[in-house]
A = this chain, B = another copy of it.
Amino acid sequence: MILIDGKETAAEIKLEIAAEVRKIIDGGGKKPHLAAVLVGTDGASESYVNYKVKDCEQVGFGSSLIRLPEETPEQELLDTVAELNKDPEIDGFIVQLPLPEHIAELKVIESIDPSKDVDGFHPVNVGRLLIGMPCFQSATPAGIVELIARYNIETSGKHCVIIGRSNIVGKPIAALLAQKRSPGNCTVTVCHSRTPNIKDLTLQADIIIAAMGYPGFLTEDMVPDGAVVIDVGTTRVKSDQTKSGFKLKGDVDFEGVAPKCSYITPVPGGIGPMTRVSLLLNTLKAAKKEVYG
């Protein structure tokens, strides 16, 4: 069994990005700049955004954090987005989700210039992802594909069973792994809450991606010998073993499942760090105008 070390891989990628940033600056270029817009004071959103700013510092990107109060009218947020779209200093930006209920999320996302949409949530980027064209891929599926590539895990002709059909994980990773390319060329099965026989399906899988947010869902009896298991779950559960009083738990019962796997990602330290680094990779691509020219 090989433990896929997302933390280490993400650290390596950060070093690669930092080296490229230095090269850009040495060549007289401008340092890549990521902006984040945070509306309100949701605790989880605060900490995600802070991580993103810190990641930027680590690799030498510039970053801006734009804070707007919870009661910001939708139009004011749209105006902020319009300014960021125009600002030549900003290569890419994100609007941290979820937004307060009085703001229409899709409307805001569609107002972002697709060429600066480094979260990859704009329908233009989602659509390009599905049809296999250049795009900003959303962070978690991009991170999964990057890990698979860096560990040289064969995907062509393999059966990948994905549990979960969310817009930010299940659907895009299904689309990416079915594409005619490498990594890709998987037979892909998407199952979800309405699937009556998930175990029958996972038992036929070469690769299992668990992404439904149900801690410990995937148990030993559901996994065939030699499977690759990717755990996208990150549910906070109470714990008396940590200072914070909680710990992250994945969708996979790691202790039972790991001994049967050829490869497995842990939680924490698997897909989480890769998700964070994907945003940096997208920002670098945006700065280099690799997707939209």
User: Which residues of A are at the interface with B, using a C-beta cutoff of 8 A?
Assistant: 106, 110, 122-133, 156-157, 159, 165, 167, 171-172, 174-175, 178-180, 185, 187-192, 194-197, 200-201, 204
Contact = CB atoms under 8 A, between A and B. Distances in A.
Contacts of A133: 106, 123
A188 B190 contact: yes
B196 A178 contact: no
Given A122-B127, A124-B124, A130-B127, A165 B192 contact: no
Contact of A171 (B106, B123, B128, B175): B175
Contact of A131 (B123, B131, B174, B200): B123
A185 B189 contact: no
A132 B132 CA distance: 19
Contacts of A196: 157
B188 A131 contact: no
Which 6 pairs, one residue from A and one from B, show the smallest C-beta to C-beta distance?
A123-B127, A126-B127, A127-B127, A189-B189, A187-B195, A185-B194
B157 A178 contact: no
Contacts of A194: 156-157, 180, 185, 187
Contact of A175 (B123, B130, B179): B130
A174 B178 CA distance: 11
Contacts of A204: 200
Given A178-B165, A190-B187, A157 B127 contact: no
